[in-house]
Chains A and B, each alone.
Chain A
Amino acid sequence: KNQVEQSPQSLIILEGKNCTLQCNYTVSPFSNLRWYKQDTGRGPVSLTIMTFSENTKSNGRYTATLDADTKQSSLHITASQLSDSASYICVVSGRGSTLGRLYFGRGTQLTVWP
């Protein structure tokens, strides 16, 4: 069964600290993996998209890694800011997919405290 599991479910860190969010998936065949940021009360916003051949991609203070062999991805946030408080969603697309084959994780709720 194609699934996307994220951990931890929630995380609290202090402003300025780094953190890493995890995503494990069983989607096969694999096409790409996306990380989204969703602020409370708003729609998700894309942070990164990685294909099978990419193992790291950065977007400012956000760095995503992908290990297609172990089917794991991580999102590392550097020097966290209060505005990083949000839900971070991992989404995996199956190869040859249309929109009907996007598999969504349940998200990690990150809270950054001053």
Chain B
Amino acid sequence: NAGVTQTPKFRVLKTGQSMTLQCAQDMNHEYMSWYRQDPGMGLRLIHYSVGAGITDQGEVPNGYNVSRLKKQNFLLGLESAAPSQTSVYFCASSYPFSTDTQYFGPGTRLTVL
């Protein structure tokens, strides 16, 4: 049982390049989310999904797109990376009840030059 895994762990991009961050969970969770974490700030929700094929915007969705074709995978895309997207990105998953524990992945550290 691997829990929540994220790939890659680190990535450096040039401004304007695109990339996809991958997240996978093996706990059969319905809910999955993408957060970004910047120094001195709390985790901020980018996009989330309540099931395969269902996604919605969070607090800071601009510049990102998501895809959840299968229940166990949630992808975060950056179409044209900007330096403001330099951050650490975390994926999380949980069952649907509000008191259920959220499990976080180890994070992806992205630098945009």
Chain A residues within 8 Å of B, Cβ to Cβ: 4, 31-32, 34, 41-46, 49, 51, 89, 93, 95-100, 102, 104-107
Q: How large is the interface on B (under 10, 10 to 19, 20 to 34, 35 or more residues)?
A: 20 to 34
CB-nearest residue of chain A relative to B9? A41
Q: Closest CB of chain A to B14's CB: distance in Å?
A: 24
Residues of B near A45 (CB, < 8 A) are 104
Q: Mark B44-68, 1 if CB is under 8 A from A, else 0.
A: 1100101000001110000000000
Give complex CA distance A70, B90 in Å: 32
Partner of B42, one of A4, A49, A96: A4
Residues of A near B57 (CB, < 8 A) are 100
Does any Cβ of A come within 8 Å of B111's Cβ? no
Q: Mark B74-113, 1 if CB is under 8 A from A, else 0.
A: 0000000000000000101010001101111111000000
Chain B residues within 8 Å of A, Cβ to Cβ: 4, 31, 33, 40-45, 48, 50, 56-58, 90, 92, 94, 98-99, 101-107
Q: Closest CB of chain B to A1's CB: distance in Å?
A: 13
Once A43-B107, A99-B33 are accepted as A-B contacts, the answer to whether A89 and B43 lie under 8 Å apart by CB is yes
Once A99-B33, A104-B42 are accepted as A-B contacts, the answer to whether A32 and B107 lie under 8 Å apart by CB is no
Q: Closest CB of chain B to A60's CB: distance in Å?
A: 16
